[in-house]
Structure 1
Amino acid sequence: MSVATLLIPDFALIVLGFLLARFANWGGHFWAGVEKIVYYLMFPALLFYTTSRTPFNFTTTGHFLQIAFIATACGMGLGYLAKFFFTSAPRVFESGVQTAFRFNSYIALALASRLAGDQGTALMALLIGFLVPLCNMAAVYALAHNSGKLLIEIAKNPLVVGTASGVIVNLCQIPVHEAINATLSRLGNASIALGLLAVGAGIRLSALHEAKAMASYFLTIKLLVLPLIALLLGHWMQLPLLQLQIVVIFCALPTASSAFVLAARMGGNAPFVAFLISASTVLSAITLPFWLSLVH
């Protein structure tokens, strides 16, 4: 499968979501509902379904997970350096730093599924399950250092719950009735298309009026530096081809759309984050093919 064949269908859905949100007059409440049902129901179902059915060998995926952790940690460290490199208005840095290391799970699983079916989806789900808690903790910490409910929020995260429960069922060899598996499969299949439409609907292409240098810095880290780290480490550790492809895709993903919700809910600079999410999503249409071409 060529890089263009791999990427075009998913980015076509993102563009379709953008166009529907602008011209269909369905209202913001409709798209908020789509985002909610995908995030809280359909996506966790997909994560559970794939992780509960795919055999895991943590001996062979150890380096794979290590590379993702190292690259993500580098994104956090480099992101926090922006506080010393740039001057900005209050809450701009605290709100924007999360975009240097958080990732869009919808695009992640869509690409992994098209690349390698259930095997690719399971590998990506493993990364999502392990790194969502770390990224969420770092993002919340930047906005509220003393949040007493941080660990509770992480434990209640639907992506963490879906992945963790699937891994437990898998490792403990707990049987799941085929009717339940079929239902979860239907929900999972629907989640990818709806999730990509929601990503497109959330794009805001308004001009950026503040912290342009900092925004460029965060975007460079997320779209260029992190995948480069993953690629170099993957070659050095001699990852199998599929694992190398998945970890590079993971590190090259645009930032999470939920970063806007977090910034808005915790009193941050939500418009700044909305721009970064939109810019990283649009620019990833250029950068993702580049990174995929290097490992395809």
Structure 2
Amino acid sequence: MEVLALIFPVFAVIVTGYIFARLEVLPQSIAGALTQFVYYTAIPAILFVIIAKQEIKDLANWSFIGVFTLPVVVVFFLMFFGARILRGLSTGNAVMLGMVSVASNTGIIALPLLHELFGEKTVVLAALANVVMVGLILVLIVILETIHSEDEGGLGATLKHLRTAVLNPIVLSTVLGIAYAITPLSLPKLVVDYLDLVASALTPCALFAVGMSIKVSDVVKTGPTIVLTSTIKLIVLPILVLLCANLAGLDPLTATAAVIASAVPTGKTMFILSKQYHEYEEVTAETVSATTAVSVITLVGWLIVLSRIFPGSFTLQ
């Protein structure tokens, strides 16, 4: 009951967003506006104010990075080579199939979820997971651009996407927070109070926007490929991360954060890139929609499982 009491408010906000969208209490455009606010304002505020107060040794969590990254890389290559060899997909399509199976929405979903359930320490871990995801996106852009290098204007598109990935607000606020943490300075109370106030809007806005974006119809019409990618993203990948966390001997809270960061749905950045390079657009779009909708159920399942494995991590805030 304690675990359900902990997670109920979080998922109740998601369901509320879904109901409001379906009943047209609010226009669908609100979801986009809320997401933009969270992405450009609330997330950078919470990342900077929390990371800036950390000790440098706490930011260099290589065990977490390794445990989160290794399964992602392994699953990506298995999906890529499986798509190439068994299904005969083009290199570009196979790359996208691999990416939609591992690319987590660490910023908009994992970060507010972890912060609400487990507090400040997991915000740092979510930021590290996001840096890993950005690194994978940069590699993806390079691969896709190499494939399409003969296209006119390819270099400009590449530079634009690379710049967007590197200079996105989540990465910038993480880097600035680390830079400030290196200095002996402490943040002025006025600044902390301001950033805390902005950051307080993160969880309700992000989760409400997620709920508004869910479309059950997209799940109902999914084909076998979407079922495969969604199952790997929401179930198989987190299982592998959990196994790696146990082998690496991560502490319960860090292990829990790694699993949740891998169990969130596929990020919408994948859809943007698939549209840009015209690679597996329909599968990518449907995977993003399906994983977002189904994750409301699977994340609850994962939280219950993790509460049994790591009960010490699950205490009411």
Aligned to 1:121: 123
1:97-112 matches, cutoff 5 A? 97-104=98-105, 105-112=107-114
Output one character per residue of 1:31-67: Cα deviation in whole Å (capped at 9) or x when no partner: 3222212112221112112211233425982211111
Q: Is the 8 A contact 2:141 2:162 kept in 1?
A: no
Deviation at 1:268?
5.0
Between structure 1 and structure 2, the one with the greater Rg is 2
**1:100, 1:218 within 8 Å by CA — same for their partners in 2?**
yes
1:235 is aligned to 246
TM-score normalised by L of structure 1 = 0.86
Partner of 2:313: none
Judged with a 3 Å threshold, the aligned counterparts in structure 2 of structure 1 residues 15 and 118 are, in CA distance, closer, same or farther, namely: same
Q: Which amino acid aligns with 2:7?
A: L
Question: CA RMSD, aligned part only?
Answer: 2.9
Structure 1 gaps, min length 5? none
Alignment of 1:168-179 (within 5 A): 168-179=179-190
What is the correspondence of 1:132-281 to structure 2 with a 5 Å cutoff? 132-141=133-142, 143-145=144-146, 146=149, 148-149=158-159, 150-207=161-218, 212-268=223-279, 270-281=281-292
1-structure distance, mates of 2:56, 2:114: 16
Give the counterpart letter for 1:123 in structure 2: L
**Once the 2 structures are TM-superposed, how far is the Cα of residue 208 of structure 1 from its aligned partner?**
6.7
Tell me how many residue pairs correspond in the alignment: 295
1:137-166 CA-to-partner distances (Å, cap 9, x unmatched) read: 244356544553143222211111111111
Deviation sequence 1:45-100 (CA, Å, 0-9, x none): 12112211233425982211111111221232233235323367998656554321
Instruction: Report the TM-score when normalising by structure 2.
Output: 0.81
Q: Equivalent pairs: percent with the same residue? A: 25
User: How big is each residue's C-alpha offset from its partner over 1:2-47, in whole Å with a ceiling of 9 and x where there is no partner?
Assistant: 4323332222222222222222354343332222121122211121
| Cα distance, 1:136 vs structure 2 | 2.0
- Which runs of 5 or more residues in structure 2 are unaligned? 150-154, 311-317
Q: 1:94 to 1:160 in 2, by over 3 A?
A: same
**Preserved contact between residue 49 and residue 184 of structure 1 (Cα < 8 Å):** yes
Deviations 1:171-210 (A, max 9, x none): 2334322211111111112022111111122222335799
Q: Which one of 283, 296, 299 corresponds to residue 285 of structure 1?
A: 296
- For 1:100, give the aligned amino acid: S
Give the secondary structure class of the aligned counterpart of 2:48.
helix
